[in-house]
A and B are shown apart, each in its own frame.
Chain A
Amino acid sequence: MPAPTLDRQPAGSPDEAALQQQFAATIAADRRIEPRDWMPEGYRKTLVRQVAQHAHSEIIGMQPEGDWLLAAPSLRRKAVLLAKVQDEAGHGLYLYSAAETLGADRADLTDKLIEGRQKYSSIFNYPTPSYADVGVIGWLVDGAAICNQVPLCRSSYGPYARAMIRVCKEESFHQRQGYELLMTMMRGTDEQRAMVQESVDRWWWPSLMMFGPPDDESPNTAQSMAWGIKRHTNDELRQRFVDMTVPQAQFLGVTLPDPDLAWDEESGHWRFGAIDWEEFKRVLGGQGPMNDVRIARRRAARDDNAWVVEAATAHARKHEAVPA
């Protein structure tokens, strides 16, 4: 128990320097910032960008796998996929809630997404032509997301950290269902094994790109790490993902499409080949295979379902007007 302090803090509204000092002390002690705390404007804005774009990625992320909902090969696989896609919607909503505690507005964020003024992860701009893609997305894409997201459970911003704890618990199911699906296919026919390999060939490099440009091209990483809203650099997380995934690929019996992939005894890490950052920039810049489709569908979901929102509002108003 700390010694009792009998001298009272002087009352009165502290000036901005004192607030800044209090904020810095909270961060330095690895405690959490909560919505009604004073925070620097740059911290708030960076977090809104980060959380909103994370939310957008979850919502758009429903689409690539959602394409397989009606074509899944069994009732079991259909139920699993439906639960997974529903989780992605839930993750998006937890995150929009967190963004709203920072003064953002969910409907407005959706508009910004549809207008292309805010982005979502480039990974969702790739198509899913094969059912094996459902398994590979769970294994690689959700595996990469877990690498990114687990450290965010310790984000210095309380509502975001709490949302990430819920998300991470659920992502674990996503990755495992994907890996199990792939194991089942690998135990099947030659044709099924070829499907898995073909899908891995397409998704491996985009999965590595998910971690973002190399550290020397990420000038703001230092600030975000100082604020406790980013916990590891892009390259650190990418390396962690590769080290985690290579043994899983070996167990599965697939080949990762990188001739330079090699175990480095000295460092205890898997070394991998050069990433095509031009492709990353193209896809992020709107030139990916599915960018237009994703946004068009999100726009249609908003506009075509507007009547549901109106009907629910009208229903609520009607019941409000009738005395109980």
Chain B
Amino acid sequence: MDNKIYIICGHYGSGKSEFAVNFAKKLKQENLDVVLADIDIVNPYFRSREIRLSLESLGIDVISDTLNSVKGLDMPYLSPAIRGQINRKDRTIVLDCGGDAVGCRVLRQFSEDIKKRDYAMYMIINVFRPETSTIEDILFMKDKLESESTLKITGLINNSNFIKQTTIEDLIYADTIIKEVSKRANLPVVYVSGLKSLIKKLPEDISGTPFELELHLRSNWL
């Protein structure tokens, strides 16, 4: 993969941050110089900045706010370093957005800079979230994410799950919906993501490249 900007967006609670963290680790394993920007200023829980220290120990830079907070800061502002990183063509940047259109609004200030680079904007979808459970709802959400960010979504990610209770049948059912979204929106299903135990058992005809997730933000006991 080349150095580019990956934007991870979607409905809130769809699993954006867990995916973004796993994706940043995968890019790092491909020997890219990776920076993860947590630009979620909507919600102060379960954000990727919470594991900044462990990501930094893997060589992944993490930026969010100027105080380099890990947990607990409830202030809607971003580090100015984010714009600088977006313009660093020698680095790969993963932008972990806040949920819904309001989470994507943050992107608008960077959109002209982002458009100058090769970027991918992935919409994370969990069809078991009540507000993205139908084809129409997902397409509506996609339009909102695009209009708020002034950027175009380039791919879909089937991250449908009930966390540890997810079954293969759940992912196959989700695939039927997301396949139709893919057709209507003319967008590829880039990945189908889930816990390792599940991803190993996926049927071959499911859309998207299988992507194994390790849960980093959710404690084992939860």
A, B co-complexed = no
Report which B residues bind A (CB closer than 8 A).
none
